[in-house]
Amino acid sequence: MTEETHPALRVLAVDDVPAALDDLCEMLRDAPEVAEVTAAGDTVTALKQLQSEEFDAVFLDIAMPGLDGLELASLLTKLAKPPAIVFVTAYDEHAVAAFGIGAVDYLLKPVRPERLADALARVSRLVSTSAQQSPQPAPDALAALPVESGGRTRYVSRQDVRFVEAHGDYVRLHTRSGVHLVRMPISRLEEYWASAGFVRTHRGFLVALSAVRELRSDSVGGLLAHTDIGDVPVSRRHARALRERLLRAAQRGELRSDAAP
C-alpha cells in the first residue's frame, strides 16, 4: 500500500512584523507538504526574492508599509507562472478583495494549525493540477464569498444567493439557509457579480435574475421582484432595465423553471 505523497512546496512568507513572520515560518516548516520556507520582512525584499527564485506559494500579510500585500499580490498575478497566494492577516475586511485577486485562501491571525493545514492542502492540489494539466482559465474566485463568524470561516456560494441587501459598509446575502453578512459595499459586489446575472433593482438591492419568479405590485403601487425567500423592491429607475433583462434571460432559458418575467 503506497503512502499518499504531497508536492514538495517552496514557500515564501512575507510579514513586516518579525515575531509574526517567525511564527508563520515555524508553522510552515513543520508542515509535511512544505520542503523549503524563505522569509521576507517587507514587500521590496519579497519582490527581489520572487524575481530571482521560483516559489509554489506566497503566504502574505496585507497591512505593510509601502507596497501593501494586496498590491504585491496583484503584481504576482501578472507573472508567467504566478505562485499560489494565501493571505495571512489580522483584518477580515479585505477578504473579498483578496479572493477577487485570486487568492487560494485567507487566514486570520493568530493562525490556527487546522486552518494552515487546509490552506496548504488547497495549494498542494493547485500545484499538482498545474503540473499535470496544460494551463487552464483562471477559476471564478468570487463564486463563493468567505464569511467569518465565531472564529470560523464558511463559504457562501453565489448560486445560493437570491438577493443582496446593502447594510452600511456591509452587504447581507439572502439565501434559503439564512442571511450572511459580508464586509464590502454593494457597488463593489455589483461589479464582481454583474456578469453572473446579478442586477441592481434599487439603490440598496441586487437580485439574481434566475431567482425572480415574477414581478408584482406592492400596496402603494410600487414594483417588487418576487423570489422564493422574499420580495425585492424595484425602483422606477431600474424597472425597465430589469424587465428587459428578465425577458432576455427567459428567452435564453436562464430562469428557473418556476420563474416568470
pLDDT in tens, 68-102: 888 888 888 878 788 999 999 988 878 877 888 88
For residues 127 and 45, give the distance between their C-alpha atoms in angstroms, rounded to a whole number.
24
Q: Looking at the structure, do residues 172 and 100 belong to the same domain, yes or no?
A: no
Evaluate whether residue 37 is within a structural domain: yes
Is pLDDT of 254 > 50?
A: yes
CATH code of the domain covering residue 125: 3.40.50.2300
Q: Looking at the structure, do residues 34 and 116 belong to the same domain, yes or no?
A: yes
Q: Looking at the structure, do residues 185 and 83 belong to the same domain, yes or no?
A: no
Q: Looking at the structure, do residues 92 and 50 belong to the same domain, yes or no?
A: yes
Q: Looking at the structure, do residues 87 and 175 belong to the same domain, yes or no?
A: no
Q: What is the DSSP string of 24-40?
A: HHHHHHTSTTEEEEEEE
Which of these three, 114, 132, 150, is where a domain ends? 132
Give the pLDDT confidence score for residue 149 in this predicted structure.
72
CB under 8 Å to 85, separation ≥6 — which residues?
57, 58, 60, 73, 76, 77, 98, 101, 102, 103, 104
- Of the listed ranges 76-80, 146-150, 185-189, the one predicted with least confidence: 146-150
The pLDDT > 90 percentage for the chain reads 53
Question: What is the residue range of 14's domain?
Answer: 9-132
Give the pLDDT confidence score for residue 75 in this predicted structure.
85
Q: Looking at the structure, do residues 75 and 117 belong to the same domain, yes or no?
A: yes
Give the pLDDT confidence score for residue 145 in this predicted structure.
80
Q: Looking at the structure, do residues 165 and 74 belong to the same domain, yes or no?
A: no
Which CA distances in Å does 222 have to 19, 199, 217, 239, 243?
58, 18, 5, 10, 14
Give the pLDDT confidence score for residue 131 in this predicted structure.
64
Evaluate whether residue 61 is within a structural domain: yes
Beta-bridge partners for 11? 37, 57
Evaluate whether residue 113 is within a structural domain: yes
Q: Looking at the structure, do residues 170 and 223 belong to the same domain, yes or no?
A: yes
- Of the listed ranges 87-91, 104-108, 251-255, 257-261, the one predicted with least confidence: 257-261
Which of these three, 132, 148, 170, is where a domain ends? 132
Confidence of residue 260 (pLDDT cuts 50, 70, 90): very low
Confidence of residue 133 (pLDDT cuts 50, 70, 90): low
Rounded to an integer, the average pLDDT of 113-119 is 94
Q: Looking at the structure, do residues 127 and 20 belong to the same domain, yes or no?
A: yes
All three cell numbers of 189: 459586489
Is pLDDT of 46 > 60?
A: yes
Instruction: Decide: 92 and 183 in contact? Cβ < 8 Å.
Output: yes
Which CA distances in Å does 133 have to 13, 48, 126, 227?
27, 29, 11, 41
Evaluate whether residue 147 is within a structural domain: no
Rounded to an integer, the average pLDDT of 162-177 is 94
Q: Looking at the structure, do residues 222 and 125 belong to the same domain, yes or no?
A: no
Which of these three, 132, 152, 176, is where a domain ends? 132
For residues 150 and 220, give the distance between their C-alpha atoms in angstroms, rounded to a whole number.
41
In 109-209, which ranges are continuous DSSP H helix? Answer: 113-132, 186-193
CB under 8 Å to 63, separation ≥6 — which residues?
69, 89, 90, 91
Q: Write out pLDDT tens, residues 208-224.
A: 999 999 999 988 888 99
Q: Looking at the structure, do residues 124 and 175 belong to the same domain, yes or no?
A: no
Please report, as a single letter, which amino acid is at residue 18.
P
Average pLDDT for the chain: 86
Closest by alpha carbon to 241, among 192, 186, 210, 199?
199
Domain count, the chain: 2
Q: Looking at the structure, do residues 127 and 166 belong to the same domain, yes or no?
A: no
Evaluate whether residue 258 is within a structural domain: no
CATH code of the domain covering residue 219: 2.40.50.1020
Is pLDDT of 2 > 60?
A: no
Evaluate whether residue 152 is within a structural domain: no
